[in-house]
Amino acid sequence: MKILSIETSCDDAGIAVLEIKENKNSPEFRVLSNIIASQIEIGKKYGGVYPMMAKREHQKNLPIVLSKALKKAKISNQKPDINLIAVTSGPGLEPCLWTGINFAKELSLKLNAPIVPVNHIESHILVNFLENPPSYRASARQVKFPAIALVVSGGHTQLILVKKIGSYKILGETRDDAAGECFDKCAKLLGLGYPGGPIISKLAEKNRNPASIRLPRPMMYTKDYDFSFSGLKTAVLYYLQKNKKANKKEMAAEVQQAVIDVLIKKTIKAVKDFNAKSLILGGGVSANQELRKQFKEKLEKESPKTEFFVPKPDLSTDNGLMVAIAGYFNTLRHGSEQVKKTVGWKNISANGNLRIS
């Protein structure tokens, strides 16, 4: 089976082609292509993502990305051998989501291939089930359940109990700014540009001074699993108003550490409370190397029997391959016949606020 997947939940347009060969023990995945058209340079120019502008870029980029993905996969552009189309239906920016969905519908008619809608958050979780990507051949990881998943990105910060693939419960989420949004806003206050996360991370690496700035860790010690990062952004604002010549390297390091401390504290609490056998990270912020390092160290110390799963950095950010993996597992869950019925795709629509549970 070959799956062609489409991801347009925000500003990155991703298309991947994934081939699956079923074996007795576990499926073998062949990553034939995984192409991304980034809008990061546009984001830098305008200081963020604007939905209608991102939509127009997707409309321009998707045909080009499809052609590149098919070419790399060595599949004929005239008669593509595709068995299933997976497309992100939410959550995300609805103008962007609709662009991907409409593109998938056109392909469905052309290829006579069924469409399966995919949840963006679930995709960030399930990409961890692919061993050694993006190698040509990869096997399915044996992730033990129950698992705790932390999906942390520009628009989402959620702690999710994963009972099994397809069975999820949101334990907690941000009440205001997500971690990625906090990084972006703090970077803007510091005059560092966009996107904030990678810039703050690089600047924090250069800081060699002992911490002279201390920022709050909002909600770190509350008994629930929720997050709040708007207060951290506000604290940065007030500090900069009083300290016009604040050291940007020290501030970047403290902002990063404050976010990491909160994420780790809440997540490890959930791991212990639910006796999780696995901890899964996903989302663009999980590409942060310091976050990965400290999570690994803390988990080994606090819950050494819990296995740690985190995707390679290029699969932490939005991409088509994660949608293909989720599409495959959705097919298994619902059955191939049920998925085939979705070839009459009138019921597939964008939902910017789609929940995973």
220: domain CATH number is 3.30.420.40
pLDDT in tens, 275-328: 999 999 999 999 999 999 999 999 999 999 999 999 999 999 999 999 999 999
Residue 357 lies in a domain: no
What are 354's two structure tokens? 């789609």
Distance CA 67, CA 95 (A): 23
Residue 281 lies in a domain: yes
- 157 and 43 together in one domain: no
pTM for this structure?
Answer: 0.94
- 151 and 263 together in one domain: yes
- 298 and 168 together in one domain: yes
- Computed over every residue of the chain, the mean pLDDT equals 91
More confident residue, 210 or 315: 315
**Looking at the predicted structure, is the pLDDT value of residue 149 above 80?**
yes
**Looking at the predicted structure, is the pLDDT value of residue 339 above 70?**
no
More confident residue, 143 or 322: 322
Assign 341 a pLDDT band (cuts: 50, 70, 90).
low
The count of domains in the chain is: 2
Residue 139 lies in a domain: no
- 295 and 333 together in one domain: no
Question: In the β-sheet with 157-164, what is the strand arrangement from edge to edge?
Answer: 167-173, 157-164, 147-152, 278-282, 307-309
Tell me what pLDDT residue 19 has.
94
The domain containing residue 84 runs over which residues? 2-134+315-347
Inter-CA distances, 339 with 22, 102, 104, 166, 332, Å: 18, 18, 15, 15, 9
- 296 and 165 together in one domain: yes
Residue 356 lies in a domain: no
Inter-CA distances, 237 with 149, 202, 207, 240, Å: 31, 21, 20, 5
Averaged pLDDT for residues 102-122: 94
Averaged pLDDT for residues 98-103: 97
CA dihedral 268, 273, 275, 277 (to 10 degrees): -30
Residue 141 lies in a domain: no
Residue 168 lies in a domain: yes
More confident residue, 77 or 314: 314
Q: Which of 20-34, 117-131, 161-175, 193-207 has the lowest mean pLDDT?
A: 20-34
Count how many residues are written for the chain.
357
Q: Which of 130-139, 201-210, 273-282 has the lowest mean pLDDT?
A: 130-139
- 165 and 72 together in one domain: no
- 41 and 120 together in one domain: yes
pLDDT in tens, 42-57: 989 888 999 999 999 9
- 104 and 151 together in one domain: no
Residue 291 lies in a domain: yes
Q: Is 140 helix (H, G, I), strand (E, B) or coil?
A: strand
Residue 179 lies in a domain: yes
- 227 and 90 together in one domain: no
- 242 and 169 together in one domain: yes
- 64 and 18 together in one domain: yes
- 202 and 323 together in one domain: no
pLDDT in tens, 221-233: 999 999 999 999 9
Tell me what pLDDT residue 344 has.
53
Distance CA 185, CA 172 (A): 22
